[in-house]
Amino acid sequence: MKDQPVLQLENISKHFGMTIALADMSITLHPGEVHAIVGENGAGKSTMIKVMTGIYQPSAGTILIGGKPQVISGPQAARDAGIAAIYQEPMVFPDLDVTENIFISDTSAGLLMRPAAQRRRAIELIERIGINLDPDRIASGLTLAEQQVVEIARALSQDVRILIMDEPTASLSAHEAAQLRKIAKTLAAQGVAVVYISHRLEEIFEIADRVTVIRDGAHISTKPIASVTADSMISEMVGREVGNYFAKAPGTVTDEVILQVQNLSLAGVFKDITFDLHKGEILCMAGLVGARRTDVALALFGVTPTATGEVTYKGKPARFRSPREAIDAGVAYVSEDRRKLGLAMPMSIRSNISLVTLDAFLSRFGLLNREKETAVAHSYRERLNIRTQDVDSEVGMLSGGNQQKVMLAKWLNMEPDLLIFDEPTRGIDIGAKAEVHDLIREFAAAGGAVLVISSDLPEVLALGDRILVMREGQQMGILDTSEATQERVMILATGQTALREAV
Amino acid sequence: MLARISPQTLRILALLAVVLAVLLFFSTQVPNYLNGRLFNRISSSVAIMALIACGQTLVILTRNIDLSIGSIVGFVAFATGSLITNNPELGPVLLVSYSIILGACFGVVNGLLVAFLRIPSIIVTLATMALFRSSLVEYSDAKSITTGNLPEWLISFPNYKVLTFGTLQLRAGFLVAVLVVIAVHIALTHLRPARKLYAVGSNPEAAEMAGINTKLVVLSAFACAGALAGLAGFMFLARFGTITVVAGLGIELKSVAASVVGGVNIFGGSGTVIGALLGAILVDLIDMSLVRWALVSEFWREAVLGTLILLSVAADAILMRRLIALRVAREKTTKENAP
């Protein structure tokens, strides 16, 4: 590491209101290295990238480029400094062709475009990446992998010195991912500092020169790849003590099976998911981003009826073809995306709670019975401890925790037998988390069955009676809570089982 | 074969084919249909609409819409008319520049509101449509511009015959409009900043990430549309001579129709002004032909036009989906054939 670092973050912090996304983060990037960054979901990787690319301004700390302190005021400034990022979902212009996409932000060459010259340069850049791609193709017809190549070529056209790849392979096939890793290696060999973020530890062992582990927005360690093992990385990623803020409550599992899933598959998305769910049980689905847990839930809820496999619900074969059918059968799905799929933000608490079960609120003439609606909303406000003045407040004005409770109230009101809860505590504070957990346990204790999808490991361990771990559409195993630890879940979720056995 | 041609060229070829088909159809239905007079009439009216549709296209490309464009045309036509009425000695260059600059100013107002206050363009321009029109009513003081007060060169300009083939005349107004459209087309395809117009409409977030000043791009699109509407206002004055406060009323929707029929994607990001010109021609052609077609009563003309717009957009969507499927299939086979 004798050469001058291209980019240094020094004691960078970033706050969003009360939330601390980055705390005293420091990292140094050298030209020609592939620098992997690993951490759990929510460890602060995305925030760090956004600070590097000028999308966020740090609350405190210094950024040094080529040894000199510099403010990256926006995406254009980052680009001028030679920093570019490509994401899991590439940023391309679907209506433009490959060449046009590559040179879209090229301002150096004057007013007139010279298509022939651009096309030649595009071919050169694509060759430098080492890929076959027709420069005349329209971007909307490209595969994800090809779109990423376009983005890399765009970065190269601007003389990139730092290329950040954020989960670039998460949505790619094995062959495409291998190709992309080769590209990362090639670019590093040409002197670019490549920041590589991935949940796939085997990828990191294949290409990284150094690994930085981050956790809870803070830097944990930076080591040469040779001196780390999968186990050491995982234990650093997990770090904190289990159960320091969630107490494990005794389970309420009964013998009665309510849901039996056998070899549930959806082509290209997930494969051979098999589990039982008992009355009174909380089954947690753990895994990293891209593990396809939500897709499994959506298939059970009838959103993707093309899934294959056998689902037995309450002793009968069940294949819901629409959410309506699932709801009628007593299945509730509480979405992870409150804003998009969960709540009608401009509407009141009252009308949100009654939304799924409107039929129950109709009076004789088919009009809404508003008194009944209000009464029900009030009872939920008290039961779930939703902190508002009244039930006519706009849902959009509530805090995340209260919104989550309104969403739960909406679904509890249909009195489901099976509750699927996707990321029940994402983005809400610790106090509200504990309350939501109590509500879920209460529901299970009353005889309901719960399927919780959560990326929060302590939550999974505290809440679940059993834990189903998924990785990239595969079911990696089901652990009983008594035998589960954060490390064991992570080992399954990152696909290190084989490695572990070898040790 | 089909997959080799670019989608935009294909669209234009398809439009030409439809124009031809419409001409053939009506020539079997209407006696003495295909003659020079039909061409002269359509070309005179398209001369104005082409400019407006061209401006509208620039705005639609950025995922916006300009509903105030008809009011701009009306205001500029009136203001230019009263300027020349009061100063009859003004020359053509000054007068045209005045129209264009005035139109651009209106466009800038729209652009500032849309780009910097982040109000959806449909709301902004719905409001400015009414505002510009009301200011015209106020400004006009219940008077009209009349042909008698306009200089001779202005009145005769649009009908000046550049070329004559029998009864078929190529008039100056139409020629100017076509030249402007071609100029804008060349600018869109060959100027670097123009590519940003497509980028912003195609994927605004990616455009922001690529370091494009999206606000400036949207502002410029509205300003250019205003300038083109200003030029159209000048042509409007020259063609009709008599301008009242309702001048240009309803043009905004016709220009959207022309753009959409011409293959401009209403969600932004793709389309050509040549397409918009052909769209304007097609809409006008059908409108005029229906007048002479005894089978369709006057009341149904609008309905037929509406149906045409639906059909052209649906056909476009289906065609493009097919084309993409075709390409994917082609690539698969080439990949499989490759070792």
What residue segments make up the domains of chain A, in order of their start? 7-238, 243-330+416-503, 345-414
Q: What's the confidence (pLDDT) of residue B70?
A: 95
Q: B61: nearest CA in chain A?
A: A95
Mark the ranges of chain B whose per-residue pLDDT is less than 70. Answer: 1-5, 316, 320, 324, 327-339
Domain that holds residue B258: 2-332
CB A259 within 8 A of CB A283: no
Look-up: residue for tokens 């771990």?
A469
* CA–CA separation, B68 and A491 (whole Å): 61
Kindly give, in sequence order, each residue whose CB lies less than 8 Å from that of residue A269, ignoring residues fewer than 6 positions away: A292, A295, A473
* CA–CA separation, B20 and B7 (whole Å): 20
In angstroms, the separation between the Cα of residue B210 and the nearest Cα of chain A is 6
Written as tens digits, the pLDDT of chain A (503 aa) is 447 899 999 999 988 776 778 888 999 999 999 999 988 777 788 889 989 998 889 999 999 998 889 898 888 888 888 999 888 778 889 888 899 899 887 766 677 777 888 889 999 988 888 788 889 888 888 888 888 889 889 888 888 899 999 888 776 777 788 888 888 999 999 899 999 998 778 888 989 999 999 988 889 999 999 998 888 888 888 775 444 445 566 778 888 899 999 999 998 889 899 999 999 999 999 988 778 888 999 999 988 888 888 999 988 888 888 988 998 899 999 888 777 778 888 888 888 888 888 878 877 777 888 888 888 888 888 888 887 778 888 888 787 788 888 888 888 888 899 999 998 887 676 677 788 888 899 899 998 999 999 888 888 888 889 999 998 888 999 998 888 888 888 888 887 764 444 33
Which one of A99, A100, A105 would you mutate to disrupt binding with B, by most B Cβ within 10 Å of its Cβ? Answer: A105
Q: What's the confidence (pLDDT) of residue B223?
A: 97
Q: Under an 8 A CB cutoff, do A112 and B193 touch?
A: no
CB A33 within 8 A of CB A194: yes
What is the CATH code for A243-330+416-503?
Answer: 3.40.50.300
Q: What's the confidence (pLDDT) of residue A500?
A: 45
Instruction: Note the pTM of the prediction, 2 decimals.
Output: 0.74
In tens, the pLDDT along B226-266 reads 999 999 999 999 999 889 989 999 899 999 999 988 888 88
B339, part of any domain: no
CB A209 within 8 A of CB A194: no
Quote the distance between the C-alpha of residue A493 and its chain's center.
Answer: 13
B108, part of any domain: yes
* CA–CA separation, A84 and A54 (whole Å): 10
Q: Under an 8 A CB cutoff, do A105 and B201 touch?
A: no
Helix (H) / strand (E) element for A467: namely strand A466-471
B55, part of any domain: yes
- Which residues from A are below 8 Å from B192, CB to CB? 106-107, 109-113
Which CA distances in Å does A156 have to A187, A198, A272? Answer: 9, 21, 41
Q: Under an 8 A CB cutoff, do B210 and A107 touch?
A: no
Q: B268: nearest CA in chain A?
A: A95
Domain boundaries A7-238, CATH class: alpha beta
DSSP B3-43: GGS-HHHHHHHHHHHHHHHHHHHHHHHSTT-SSHHHHHHHH
Q: What's the confidence (pLDDT) of residue A241?
A: 46
B338, part of any domain: no
B178, part of any domain: yes
Q: Under an 8 A CB cutoff, do B212 and A104 touch?
A: yes
In angstroms, the separation between the Cα of residue B103 and the nearest Cα of chain A is 25
Quote the distance between the C-alpha of residue B268 and its chain's center.
Answer: 15
B56, part of any domain: yes
B327, part of any domain: yes
ipTM of predicted complex: 0.77
- Which residues from A are below 8 Å from B199, CB to CB? 93, 96, 104
- Over pLDDT 90: what percentage of chain B? 46
- Which residues from A are below 8 Å from B210, CB to CB? 75, 79, 91, 104-105, 154
Please report, for the domain that includes residue B215, its CATH number.
1.10.3470
Q: Do strands A34-38 and A193-197 pair parallel, antiparallel, or not at all (unpaired)?
A: parallel
Q: Under an 8 A CB cutoff, do B269 and A93 touch?
A: yes
Kindly give, in sequence order, each residue whose CB lies less than 8 Å from that of residue B286, ignoring residues fewer than 6 positions away: B22, B304, B305, B308
- Asked if A7-238 and A243-330+416-503 have one fold, the answer is yes
Structural domain count of chain B = 1
